[in-house]
Structure 1
Amino acid sequence: MSNEGSLLRLFNYEGFTLEMLLEYLYKREEDGVISFLINKLYDYPACDIEFYIPQIVNMYFYKPKCGEIERLLLRNSIDSHAFALTLHHNLSAFAEDCNPELKEKAQSFIENLDMTIVNAALPKQTSERPPPHFYNLVSDFTELDGFNRKTIRSQYYTYQLKMINLLCKISVGLNQIPLEERDEKLKFWLESVEDTLSDTRKKYRNHPEPVRRLFRGPIINFKFHNLEDKDEMQIVRIHNQKSMCFCTKARVPYKIVYETISLKEEGINDSNSVHVINDEAIEEMNTVDVEQINKLVHKETRFEGYNEYVEEAEKNPDERPSPRLSLNDNTLSSSESVWGESWEDMEKKIRESSPWGKYSTWKIRGLIVKGLDDLRQEYLAMQFIMKMKKIFEEALLSIYLRSYEIEIISNYMGMIEYIPNTLSLHSIKKTYKNYSTLQNFFIENWPNTYEEAQRNFIQSMAGYSLACYVLNIKDRHNANILLDSLGHIIHIDFGFFLIISPGGNIGFESAPFKLTGEMIEVMGGIDGEMFGYFKILLLQGFLELRKHADELLLILKMMGPGNNLPCLREFERAENELRERLRLTYTDEKCFQFIEDLVNAAQNNWRTLKYDDFQYLTNGIL
C-alpha cells in the first residue's frame, strides 16, 4: 500500500513531466497503473503529445493493456484537427506494413478516427449540438443544421487528404518521366493543382463566411521550425515556376514553393478569376500506380559496386583519393553570389505582385516532397535531434542544431521542410568560381564577418558531431551536408543511423563523425584556439546529453519491437549500442579524455575520405 501511495504522490507531483509519465507507462505492467497513467495523459495539451505520436501509436499496438490509448488519441483529435491529421498519416503508414494480425485493428482505428473527425465526437457518442467548424472558426450555430455541418467537415477533410496525396503522387509519377522532361512535367502538374485550389474556392463562394474562408485553401499541418506560426496557415497559391526536381538514381523528390495566409484572416481573393482545371493532368496524377512504380525502381542503385570498392579500399588504406576533375567545371561567374537570390528577396518580389500579398500573415514557404520514400525513420532521427537541441538550449550551451519539420504521409510518401539560404558542400565545390578550400571560401564570402561565420561553423560542427556520434549517423557525403548563408553546417538525410549503414550494413564509415582537413582548417587548425573551443563545446554537450539519457532512450524504447524500421530491426542491439555510446558509467574526468579520443579518431579519418571518394566516383558528389 505504501508503494502505491508513493507512486500516486509521484504521479500527481507538479514536476511530473510528460516524459516521466511515458517512461512509467512504458515500464509498468499493472492494469490500474496503466489505466491511471493513460488518464493522466489527458492533462497534457495535444500539441505536446503530438511529438510522441509514433511512439504512443506503437505502444498501443504492441503493449498489452493499452487499449484505452485509442480513446485518448481520438479525444485529442477532436480538440486539435492538426493532431488528427498527424495521427491519420501515422496510422495509415503503420497499417500498410504492420504484422498481419494487427492490420484489422489498425484499419478499425483509422475508421474510428475518420468518424471522430467528421462528427467531432467519439464513436457511438451523440451530441445534441451540431459539430463546430474545424480549427474553431467562429460561427452562428443556427446557420447550418448538424447534418450540413458534418458534411462540410467531411468535405474539407477529404479535400485536405486529396491535395496532400496529389502533391506526393507527383513525386512518384516523375519517376516514369524522362530526365530531360521532368521539370516541365512538374510545372504542368503543379499548375493543375493550383487550378484545383481556385476551383474549390469557387465551389464554396456562396456558403456562409466561415465555410468560404475554410475552403480558401487546404491546411496540411506543417510546422516550419524557422517560423513562429501561432495560427493555422492555408495554401492559397502555388508557384510552379519556382519549383524544381531533385533527381537521384532511385527517386525524384521535388521542391514546391507556395504562398500561405492565416485562416484567421477574413476575405476571399480570386472569386472572379478564371481557372480551368486540366482534367487530363489531374487524371494523370490520380492514376499514378505507386505500387507498380515502386517495384520498378531500384532503390539501392546508389550503392552499386560499394562492397567491391570497400574490399579494395581495405587492402590499400594509404591510397590517395581520386582527383576531383570537375572542380573547375563551375557555372558561376565571379560577380554572382554563390547563394543566389536570398529567400527574403524572393519573398519580397513575390509579395509585391501577389493578389494575396495584402494579407498581414502572408508568407512564402517551401517543402521537399518525397515519393517512394518511407520517412518514418527520418522522423525518428529528427525527434532525437529536436530533443538534443532542446537539451542544449535549456542548458544555455552555444551549440547549434537546425531542426526541421518532417511529415509522414504514408509508408512510401512524405514531406520535409525546405531550409532556405543554404547550399550543400557539394554544390559549393561544384559552382563556386575557383573553389580551392573551404577556408578560402569562408574568407572570400564573409570578408567582414569572418569571425562570426567561423564561430557559427564551429558551434554547428559541435552540434552535428555529437548528433552523428550518439545516433551513429552514416552516409555523410557532401550532398548531405549543407552550409547556410551565416556559416552554419546543417546535416540532412538520415537514412542510415543506429544499426544500419550503406552497402548492407558493412559499417565502412567507422569514424564517430565527419571531421575532414578542410573542416579543421576553418576551425583554425588542430592547435588553434578555436579548435580548442570546438572540443570544449563537444565536452559540454556530451556531458549534458548524458544527464538526459533517459529522455533520449525513451524515444527509442517506445518504438519497440521496431518491426517497421530498418534501423530498429535488431531492437535490443540498437538500444544497447545507443546507451553504450553515451558512456553512462564514465566520470566527467574520463569523458574529457573520451572526447579527445573521439576527435582523434574522427580527424581526417581515412574511411571518411574513402567514402567521399566512392560517392565522387559513382555519383559525382564532390
Structure 2
Amino acid sequence: FNDDFNVWIALKSLHKTTHLREYVIEKLYALEDDDIDFFLSQFTTLLLSWTKAEGTKLERFLVDCCSKSIHCAIKLCWFLQAFAFNSDNHKTKGRCRKLAHDFELAVVNSERPDVSWRKRFGVQQSPSPTSRRSSCSAESSRRSSRASPNANNSKDAAVDPNEHILRVTSMPPHRRKTSAPPSLVPSSSEPNVQAATATTMNDHSSPSSSSSADVHNNILTRSNSSAMSVNVVNVAIEVKDGTDDRQDGDDLHPNDHSRFLRKEKLCSYFTSEMDLIYLLQEISGSLGLLDKPSRNSQLGIWLNHINRCLPQGLYFPNPHKASEPHYGILRIIPEESFCLSSRDKVPFLLHVEIEYSGLVCTSLDISQALSLSSGGDDNLSSLVSNSETLLKGDKTPEKPQPKVPLVNDHSSALPFGEPFAVRKARIRKASSFGSRPKWDLISVIFKGGDDLRQEHMAMQLILLFDSIWKNAKLPLQLRPYSVLVTSESSGIIETVPNAVSIHDLKKNIPGFTTLSNFFERVWGPRGSESFNKAQGNFVESMAGYSLLTYFLQIKDRHNGNILLDSSGKIIHIDFGFIISSSPGGNVNFESAPFKLTKEHIEVMGGEEDSPAFDLFHLLVVRGFLEARKHWDKIALIVEIMIRGSKMPCFTRGKSSIDDLITRFHIEKSDQECIEYVSLLIEESADNWRTTQYDNYQRVTNGIL
C-alpha cells in the first residue's frame, strides 16, 4: 500500500496485525500532523495495550512527535493520566508515568530522550521508570491526595507509592524562586493540599453510583521517590568533564546561551499550561462546596487571582485540527463567566480574550511567545503552591469593566440570547486589549468530575460522520464541537454560540405553545423565505442527528440535551450514554431508533403531503446508504478504544462492537436498506416510549 497509505490503513494494520507494525510505524512519519493529532487517543490506547517490547517503535514515534510539538505532548500527557487512573494494572500505571515523563522531556529538549541522549550530555542513568518523576513536574511539587474515608480499604493502600501514575495535571509543576535554573530534585517534605471535587454539566439523567469522593480517591497521589538528577535547562550544554558549575547561563557560549533560554521557555510553557488547568480544577471542586447563590461572585474573585498571575501566550489546546492557528490567552473575563445549571456538579462557562500569534498549534515556537505576568513574585506556580491563597484569599473582586449598551436590531435574536458577534464587539470596545489587531474572543466550558474520554470519542465519530456526508455532497448537518480531555476527571468543551436548549426555550419564552408556533413567531409565517430557510436547516440537521442517534445508540435525549440555534438547526449535546449504555442502569427505555416527536413532525409540516418531511425521509435514506460505505472506519475507532477501557459505553464488551456493525446492515442490498430505513422512520415517529421518557424527565427533573 505504498501509494495509497493513509492514517486509516495505519490504524487498521496496527490494530489487526503484528507482522507489519514496524513497517507501518515508519510510514507514520509521512502523514499529516492533523491526522496524527486526531487519533492521538487511539495511538495511545494501542501503545498501552501492547507489551513494552511490542510498543517500542510506536513509543519512539510518539516521542518524536512530542519533540516537535508542545501541543501533542500536552494532550498525550493528559490522555495518559486519564488512562492510568482508570487502570487496575499497576504496571500500566507505572508505564503511563514513564511515558508522560519521556513525552515531557522530549518537548523540553526537542529531541528523543534515549540512551544516546544521556551519554551525549553526560547525564547519569535515571532511576527506574516506576520511580522516576517528570522533568518539569518534579520541581518543588507540593501535591498530595485528598484523604478518603475508604483509603484503608483501597486497592492501592498496600501498593508501593512509586507505582502511582505521575499526575501531570493534578500535580502541576512550579518553579523555585531562585536565580539558579530549576532543579529536578523535589522537596523532601511537602504539605497536603486538598483535591477539588468536581462535576459534570448536565445531571438531568440518573446520577452515577460512584460518589465524587470515590472518583477523586488518590487523584493527587504523588510519588515519594527521588527525581532524575538532571537539570532540564542545562541538559543541552555539553559537559566535557562531566561537571559544570555555571549558574543561570553565565559565561556560556552564545549558542549554549540561546539553547539555554529556549529550553527555559519550553519548560515554562509546559509548566504554565499544567498549572492553569490545575487551578481551574481546584476552582471547579471548590465551587461545589458553596451554596448556589454565591458561586458566580466567588468564581469571579478566583478568576481575578488567576488573571493577575496569568502569563500571556498560554492557550487551550482544543482546536479540531492541530494545524489551526495558535492563540495566546490575554485574559479570562470574570464578569462574563458564570456557573452553569447542574444538580450536584459545577461546570462553568468562561469567556476568554485571546490574541492570535501567527503560528500554528503544532509549532514549538509557540513557547517563545510566553510573556510572564507582571505581578512580581505572583505567578501561576505560586498559586498552585499555595492554592489556599486562591480559594480562601481576597474576597473583594476587581471593579467590573463597563459594558457597552446592547443594541439589538434582530427580531430573532432575543430567544437565543445576546448574539455572539454583538457580545464580541461589546467586550472588545470595553477591553484594554481590544485595540490589538489580532484580538478575538472565545468561550469554553470547564467541566469537572467526569472522565471526558467517552465524550471525546463521540466527537471523533461525529466529525467522521460529518466528513462522510460532506464529501458525498449530502446536506445533512451536524455541529461538531471540540472536547479536550485534561485529566481523568476534567476537560474543556467548546461552546455552541447562538443556541439554546429546547427546554430553556419552553421555560423562558413567554407564551410558548409548540415548537412549530415558535418557528412562525421567530422566522415568520409558513411559506415565507425566512421560515423556509429555517425549516430547511431544521430538516437537514434532524436527518443528520437522527442517523447519528441510531448508529451510535445515543440515549438520554431529553430537551435539555437538544439545542436549537438561531438559524433553525437542531444540535445534540452531552454524549454520556452511547453505544451500549443508557440511563437508569441500562434499562434502555428509549428504544425508538431515534427521537422524532409529534412536535418535530409539525415543524416539518406533518407526515402527509409535506415537502419538508419528504426531504427528511430522503436525506435519512441517502445518509444511511452513504454512512454504511464507511462502516469499517466508524467501527475501527470504537474497536480500538475498547482495549483496556472502562468507559461506560463498553459495559457489554465486544458485543457492543458487534451490535454497532450490525446496525449498518452491510449484508443488505441498497433497496433492502431503503425499505429498512423507512421502517426506522415509521417506528420513531411519535413513538410512545419517547413521549413517556420526556414525561418522566418533566416530572422528575422539571425538563420541559
Q: Which 5+ residue runs of structure 1 have no aligned equivalent? A: 1-9, 133-139, 201-215, 289-333
Matched, 1:416 2:498: no
Whether the 8 Å contact between 2:68 and 2:107 is mirrored in structure 1 is no
Q: For residue 301 of structure 2, what is the amino acid of its counterpart? A: F
Matched, 1:534 2:623: no
Which SS does the other structure have where 2:85 is aligned?
helix
How many Å separate the matches in 1 of 2:502 and 2:675? Answer: 31
1:247 aligned to which of 323, 341, 346: 341
Matched, 1:370 2:360: no
Deviation at 1:284, TM superposition (A): 4.7
How many Å separate the matches in 2 of 1:335 and 1:392? Answer: 29
Q: How does 1:482-521 map to 2 (within 5 A)?
A: 482-521=563-602
2:435 aligned to which of 358, 361, 384: 358
Matched, 1:611 2:600: no
Deviation at 1:29, TM superposition (A): 2.2
Deviation at 1:245, TM superposition (A): 0.8
Deviation at 1:460, TM superposition (A): 0.3
How many Å separate the matches in 2 of 1:141 and 1:48? Answer: 38
> 1:405 is matched with which residue?
482
Matched, 1:111 2:111: no
1:263 aligned to which of 345, 348, 357: 357
How many Å separate the matches in 2 of 1:620 and 1:229? Answer: 43
> 2:15 is matched with which residue?
26
> 2:280 is matched with which residue?
167
How many Å separate the matches in 1 of 2:413 and 2:13? Answer: 57
Deviations 1:99-125 (A, max 9, x none): 223111111111111211211111134
Distance 1:169 1:517, change over 3 A: same
Matched, 1:442 2:523: no
> 2:318 is matched with which residue?
222
Q: How does 1:570-589 map to 2 (within 5 A)?
A: 570-589=652-671
1:238 aligned to which of 310, 313, 332: 332
> 1:196 is matched with which residue?
309
Distance 1:575 1:351, change over 3 A: same
Distance 1:584 1:270, change over 3 A: closer
Which SS does the other structure have where 2:333 is aligned?
strand
> 1:67 is matched with which residue?
56
> 1:123 is matched with which residue?
113
What TM-score comes out, normalization by structure 2 length? 0.72
Which SS does the other structure have where 1:162 is aligned?
helix
- Between 1:488-497 and 1:146-155, the stretch displaced more is 146-155
How many Å separate the matches in 2 of 1:272 and 1:280? Answer: 15
Which SS does the other structure have where 2:337 is aligned?
strand
Which SS does the other structure have where 1:144 is aligned?
helix
Deviations 1:479-498 (A, max 9, x none): 10001100000000000010
Identity %: 35
Q: How does 1:4-83 map to 2 (within 5 A)?
A: 10=1, 12-13=2-3, 15-30=4-19, 33-64=20-51, 65-83=54-72
Q: For residue 606 of structure 1, what is the amino acid of its counterpart? A: W
Q: How does 1:149-164 map to 2 (within 5 A)?
A: 149-164=262-277
How many Å separate the matches in 1 of 2:254 and 2:650? Answer: 49
Q: For residue 24 of structure 1, what is the amino acid of its counterpart? A: S
Deviations 1:261-304 (A, max 9, x none): 1123999999889998898999456898xxxxxxxxxxxxxxxx
Q: How many residues align?
A: 539
Whether the 8 Å contact between 1:254 and 1:368 is mirrored in structure 2 is yes
> 1:327 is matched with which residue?
none
What TM-score comes out, normalization by structure 1 length? 0.82
Distance 1:335 1:541, change over 3 A: closer
How many Å separate the matches in 1 of 2:530 and 2:644? Answer: 47
Q: For residue 268 of structure 2, what is the amino acid of its counterpart? A: Q
Distance 1:161 1:276, change over 3 A: closer
How many Å separate the matches in 2 of 1:402 and 1:172? Answer: 30
Matched, 1:569 2:559: no
2:78 aligned to which of 53, 73, 89: 89
How many Å separate the matches in 1 of 2:639 and 2:55? Answer: 16
> 2:92 is matched with which residue?
102
Distance 1:566 1:167, change over 3 A: same
Matched, 1:597 2:679: yes
Whether the 8 Å contact between 2:105 and 2:113 is mirrored in structure 1 is yes
Matched, 1:549 2:631: yes
Deviation at 1:393, TM superposition (A): 0.5
Whether the 8 Å contact between 1:561 and 1:568 is mirrored in structure 2 is no
How many Å separate the matches in 2 of 1:336 and 1:73? Answer: 46
How many Å separate the matches in 2 of 1:272 and 1:162? Answer: 17
Deviation at 1:63, TM superposition (A): 3.2
Deviations 1:14-61 (A, max 9, x none): x2221012111211122xx11101111111123211111111111111
Which SS does the other structure have where 1:232 is aligned?
strand
Structure that is richer in helix per residue:
1
Q: For residue 411 of structure 1, what is the amino acid of its counterpart? A: E
Q: How does 1:411-490 map to 2 (within 5 A)?
A: 411-447=488-524, 449-490=530-571
Distance 1:613 1:145, change over 3 A: same
Distance 1:431 1:285, change over 3 A: farther
Which SS does the other structure have where 1:111 is aligned?
helix
> 1:309 is matched with which residue?
none
Q: Which 5+ residue runs of structure 2 have no aligned equivalent? A: 122-233, 238-252, 360-367, 392-410
Deviation at 1:87, TM superposition (A): 0.9
How many Å separate the matches in 1 of 2:677 and 2:473? Answer: 20
How many Å separate the matches in 2 of 1:562 and 1:600? Answer: 39
Two-structure CA RMSD over aligned residues (Å): 2.8
Deviations 1:155-195 (A, max 9, x none): 22101110122123222221111111111111111111111
Deviation at 1:563, TM superposition (A): 2.5
How many Å separate the matches in 1 of 2:320 and 2:633? Answer: 24
How many Å separate the matches in 2 of 1:437 and 1:282? Answer: 54
How many Å separate the matches in 2 of 1:431 and 1:229? Answer: 40
How many Å separate the matches in 2 of 1:557 and 1:229? Answer: 27
Whether the 8 Å contact between 2:476 and 2:540 is mirrored in structure 1 is yes
Whether the 8 Å contact between 1:119 and 1:150 is mirrored in structure 2 is yes
1:560 aligned to which of 630, 642, 655: 642
How many Å separate the matches in 1 of 2:370 and 2:572? Answer: 40
How many Å separate the matches in 2 of 1:268 and 1:39? Answer: 34
Whether the 8 Å contact between 1:168 and 1:414 is mirrored in structure 2 is no
Deviation at 1:462, TM superposition (A): 0.5
- Between 1:36-45 and 1:513-522, the stretch displaced more is 36-45
- Between 1:381-390 and 1:558-567, the stretch displaced more is 558-567
How many Å separate the matches in 2 of 1:402 and 1:282? Answer: 40
Whether the 8 Å contact between 1:34 and 1:66 is mirrored in structure 2 is no
Distance 1:274 1:621, change over 3 A: farther
Whether the 8 Å contact between 1:195 and 1:275 is mirrored in structure 2 is no
